Amino acid sequence: MKHLVQKIAGVLWAVVLLGLTLLPGPGEFFAFSPVFFTTTLGFSFPVAGAWFLAVYLTGLAVGRALGYFPQVWVAPEILAMTALYGVPTFLKGRQDRARESFQTQYAADKQQYDVFRETAEPLKKENLQNEKQLRQIEHLYDVIKEAGSTLNVQEMIELTRDFTERMFDLPHFVIAVLSNDAKKYEIRIASGCDESLFRSFDIDLEDSGLAAFLSREKKPVWVPSVAEKEPFSRLRNLAVKSFVFLPFLVQDRVIGFLCSYSNQEDFIDQDKFAHFQVFCNQISIGLQKSLLYEKVQKLSITDGLTKLFSHRHFKQRLEEELILANRYSSQLSLLILDIDHFKRYNDSYGHVAGDHVLMDVARILKEQSDMTHIAARYGGEEMVLVAPETTKEQAMELAQKIRRAVEAYAFSVGKETTQVTVSIGVATYPQDSQTTLDLIAKADKALYAAKARGRNRIVVYPL
């Protein structure tokens, strides 16, 4: 339709110009006017231009033969118009062929690019996955390196928290470790939640709760949706929709666990869960070493019978506390306690009963003291208590509490109960002494004075 309109327009325009050329006067102007727009027709409307040129030139030739147009008009105009139409048409043809060639090449290149993109996209994803795995391996290497560099349990637990937050970006998690008596799990870290709430309770190994149950199962558990799996659906009441449980397993023994939970489903994927297991396996090894080292360290500074600190550790800690008291200009009191007539008790009831008395008195001593006090076995039936930031008057009150608690306690010997009393000597830094050995000597003098004055009493230095 478009070409037909151009053909008709070209023919009509040629006929009109031929007619105008025959006019006397302005005819000469119209005879040369086609020269000026033939090029435009050749570029912009090639079909119309071709038909115009054919009709117009034919009309000129026929008109000349019939005597209507002078020869001077016809020959130059035909040549000029032919050239002006032919050159642009030739150039436009080359331009169109070049455009078609370019479009063909562009289509081929685009097809090749699409094929390359389709091939490269999986490779790109694979490369990103490899980079992610490489970072995970680097992190695991860091875990192995740092886990092997510490033998402190708390440092090991802090290390576990740091790497857990850095590597896995978990919203909420808790870390629990087996207690020294191996009867419960103590929650040491609570990240992303109320730490004071979690630290307020421990988990008994035989408890019926979920954590104890999963610990006894001794295997990792990943629950993407608690609503779809029993017996975990009851966790929905706690706004928990998914969780992961990973035990720290060493030689078929769970020495602790890491439990993470979320109020959204599928908060981790299968790959992250797999990496998480490898991570926890490495942590388990480091944590086991730390717990063993802590146990050995504790045994080396603890009296095996009374579970109080040893004599050597007591003297070391007393020296340290005296330095702190001197630095901060505070007072420090020392209590030395001796079980009255202990040899007679051993002779009457036997050494086994005497050992039980030592253990019970040591337990009472620890119960009556607080977290800042240092309780130790001094030797034989003598025990000591270092009380930092404690005045002489406060030390006397503390000694009275201990003495009364021992006096009121019923010590069992088989089916029989017995009574035991203690004598206590008290000395205070810096009023009574400036050095460790002298402070011990002053408290010891006060103790012997208490025994000399009838036992079951407290004597404070100076006598």
As a whole number of angstroms, the distance between CA 438 and CA 444 comes to 10
* Across 382-391, average pLDDT: 96
As a whole number of angstroms, the distance between CA 165 and CA 333 comes to 44
Looking at per-residue confidence, does 80 or 362 come out higher? 362
pLDDT in tens, 322-355: 999 999 999 999 999 999 999 999 999 999 999 9
pLDDT interval class at 72 (50, 70, 90): very low
Give the range among 171-180, 192-201, 296-305, 307-316 with minimum mean pLDDT: 192-201
Q: Is the pLDDT of residue 197 over 60?
A: no
Looking at per-residue confidence, does 63 or 216 come out higher? 216
Q: Is the pLDDT of residue 447 over 90?
A: yes
As a whole number of angstroms, the distance between CA 247 and CA 270 comes to 17
Domain map (residue ranges) of the chain: 2-100, 153-301, 311-460
For residue 226, what is the DSSP state? G
User: What order do you get walking across the sheet with 221-223 strand by strand?
Assistant: 202-204, 184-191, 172-178, 253-262, 242-250, 221-223
**Burial environment of residue 33 by CB neighbours within 10 A (0 to 12, 13 to 18, 19 or more):** middle
* Across 148-169, average pLDDT: 74
pLDDT interval class at 320 (50, 70, 90): very high
For residue 14, what is the DSSP state? H
As a whole number of angstroms, the distance between CA 459 and CA 246 comes to 56
* Across 88-97, average pLDDT: 68
Looking at per-residue confidence, does 103 or 438 come out higher? 438
Name 410's Cβ contacts closer than 8 Å, sequence gap at least 6.
Answer: 417, 418, 419
CATH number of the domain located at residue range(s) 153-301 in this protein: 3.30.450.40
Q: How many CB atoms lie within 10 A of CB 62?
A: 12
Share of the chain above pLDDT 70, in %: 78
Tell me which residue of 143, 173, 259 sits closest to 209, measured CA to CA.
259
pLDDT interval class at 392 (50, 70, 90): very high
What CA–CA distances, in Å, run from 260 to 34, 155, 238? 89, 20, 14
φ and ψ of 104, to 5 deg: -65, -45
As a whole number of angstroms, the distance between CA 107 and CA 115 comes to 12
Q: Which of 104-118, 187-201, 280-294, 367-381 has the highest mean pLDDT?
A: 367-381
To the nearest 10°, report the CA torsion of 399, 401, 404, 408: -140
Amino acid 345 reads Y
Q: Is the pLDDT of residue 142 over 60?
A: yes
Q: Is the pLDDT of residue 134 over 60?
A: no
**Distance between the two ends of the chain, CA-based, in angstroms?**
130
The b-or-e profile of 173-203 (16+ CB within 10 A means b, else e) is bbbbbbeeeeebbebbbbbeeeeeebeeeeb
Both tokens of residue 442?
């002053």
* Across 163-176, average pLDDT: 78
CATH number of the domain located at residue range(s) 311-460 in this protein: 3.30.70.270
pLDDT averaged over every residue in the chain: 81
* Across 243-255, average pLDDT: 86
pLDDT interval class at 435 (50, 70, 90): very high
